[in-house]
A and B are shown apart, each in its own frame.
Chain A
Amino acid sequence: DTGVSQNPRHKITKRGQNVTFRCDPISEHNRLYWYRQTLGQGPEFLTYFQNEAQLEKSRLLSDRFSAERPKGSFSTLEIQRTEQGDSAMYLCASSQGTGVRNTEAFFGQGTRLTVV
């Protein structure tokens, strides 16, 4: 296991289409995060899983967005009815933690979404 893996690396879609991204975290990590990054900005938090439970969602995550982590391993992020404003880099990160203790976060290479 060499790190956090994200697929696809790039996705171009037409406005109104649905897209799904996948994240495979580092295998022993129980915590998984999705972030969104637009050009020239730092990443912004979207949602967080501990094992299979989605414990927090940002207000940025509109009802068109849904994330799952069905078996506490890989996660998917789906965007329905994509809009041009959804164009961004979607980053996944994972870490290992128990209670308040948390290791450093490791990020994947991201999925670059372009909505045309």
Chain B
Amino acid sequence: KQEVTQIPAALSVPEGENLVLNCSFTDSAIYNLQWFRQDPGKGLTSLLLIQSSQREQTSGRLNASLDKSSGRSTLYIAASQPGDSATYLCAVRPPPRMGGGTSYGKLTFGQGTILTVHP
């Protein structure tokens, strides 16, 4: 059974700092990995999607890397801002099952990292 762990559980940094959020998964046989942002009481906003064949993806101040063989991904946030304060979740998607299957797109999530960026 796939398990996803995110470290740290919470992080508080001053504005302007560069920071790294970590995600690890126990089964390296994944189809892709997705990073999300969740504001309190809200749904999830997709940030970055990395296919299993890719090493990294970038969007603005965000850079996500993937080391599938070691079961790890990191989300790097450059020049953090108070508006970046939120919970960040990573999720992995399994490959199709042997002999065909139906679990396309089902995500297994970590418990999230609560990020606070203070002015």
- Contact between B41 and A112, CB atoms less than 8 A apart: yes
Which of B4, B41, B42, B93 has a CB less than 8 Å from the CB of A42?
B4
Chain A residue with Cβ nearest B91: A42
- Contact between A91 and B112, CB atoms less than 8 A apart: no
Which of A44, A91, A100 has a CB less than 8 Å from the CB of B96?
A100
Question: Which residues from chain B contact A48 at a C-beta distance below 8 Å?
Answer: 102-106
Which of B43, B49, B111, B112 has a CB less than 8 Å from the CB of A107?
B43
Beyond the given pairs A4-B43, A42-B4, A104-B46, 9 more chain A to chain B contacts, judged by CB atoms under 8 angstroms and listed by A's residue number, are A33-B106, A43-B109, A45-B107, A48-B102, A100-B31, A102-B31, A105-B34, A105-B107, A107-B45
Say yes or no for B71: interface residue by CB 8 A criterion.
no
- Contact between B106 and A107, CB atoms less than 8 A apart: no
Say yes or no for A85: interface residue by CB 8 A criterion.
no
Question: Which 9 residue pairs are nearest across A and B when measured between Cβ atoms?
Answer: A42-B109, A55-B102, A107-B44, A109-B43, A104-B49, A107-B43, A100-B96, A102-B105, A110-B43
Interface size class of A (residues with CB under 8 A): 20 to 34
How many residues on chain B are close to A (CB under 8 Å)?
A: 27
Say yes or no for A41: interface residue by CB 8 A criterion.
yes
Chain A residue with Cβ nearest B49: A104
Question: Which residues from chain A contact B46 at a C-beta distance below 8 Å?
Answer: 104-107
Q: How far is the CB of B20 from chain A (nearest CB, A)?
A: 19
Chain A residues packing against B (C-beta within 8 Å): 4, 6, 31, 33, 35, 40-45, 48, 50, 55-56, 89, 91, 93, 95, 97, 99-100, 102, 104-110, 112
Question: Which residues from chain A contact B44 at a C-beta distance below 8 Å?
Answer: 43, 91, 93, 107
A interface secondary structure, majority:
strand
Say yes or no for B36: interface residue by CB 8 A criterion.
yes
- Contact between B42 and A109, CB atoms less than 8 A apart: yes
- Contact between A50 and B102, CB atoms less than 8 A apart: yes
Which of A41, A55, A97 has a CB less than 8 Å from the CB of B111?
A41
- Contact between B109 and A97, CB atoms less than 8 A apart: no
**0/1 interface trace, chain B 13-47, chain A, CB 8 Å (1 if under):** 00000000000000000010010100001111110
Which of B96, B102, B105 has a CB less than 8 Å from the CB of A95?
B105
Question: Which residues from chain B contact A4 at a C-beta distance below 8 Å?
Answer: 43
- Contact between A33 and B96, CB atoms less than 8 A apart: no
